Structure 1
């Protein structure tokens, strides 16, 4: 069985609903609901000890993309994240999972909000099957998490959403 991720919130390649777009609270000029989408995965390889989830925009005008969400150490028994699990106040993240710092400077989901008039940006929601737990805390940067995932990932799968304003 192939490792695969799907979402009830959007289909691969579709535009993301306003519910998943950055809220006005962040001050970037968007007015969405800032709710992380539902994600479900299946077909994890043998030896999977945990999962990680990231949301990355490679099209951000930063020279290095933009990390919108990082979750690590999701227990191997978990096969989905429910709608709004990325909200630190929702209590919907599985026990043992840890959200770490995004490019917004804090842990938790921060939705898309590309520059006005820019081309559609791609948002890759990637699930990683990991051969252990990632050693980090809530302030660990996405780059450090990415480095650890590079050496500990058994399989990965992504679903991509688009957004333009």
Structure 2
């Protein structure tokens, strides 16, 4: 297992440790791989982390350096080198089917929501009309009672 400083000295195309760490970080982000980390105590209460790399990692970084010197962009070189050829996973197909089912379910729910919104608006309109009708009836009752009060005692003629 090698540390970053040792790898920089082993690969002629690498100029500095910071360049190497940039490549390492790019490999971790783009290719979803991770390198072994260790921590060591630096002072009485402080620790630092450092990465350890295997011989195959060194060989991969050599390939990245060679591709980089040939004019490939660094991202492309890292992806070509560290990309693992994987067996096609049936999970994406299942995920696609689940997503399609969810899309259909959401479409059906949207239609139902539209229907419920129409019903709600209809009920609100009916409620408003009922409130107006009640107000009109109250006005009519008040007018009738006010008219009755003007003639409190009248006899019916037989």
> Aligning the two structures, in what range does the TM-score lie when normalised by the shorter sequence?
under 0.3
Larger radius of gyration: 2
TM-score (normalised: structure 2): 0.24
In terms of fraction of residues, the more strand-rich structure is 1
Of structures 1 and 2, the one with the larger relative CO (CA 8 A, separation 6+) is 1
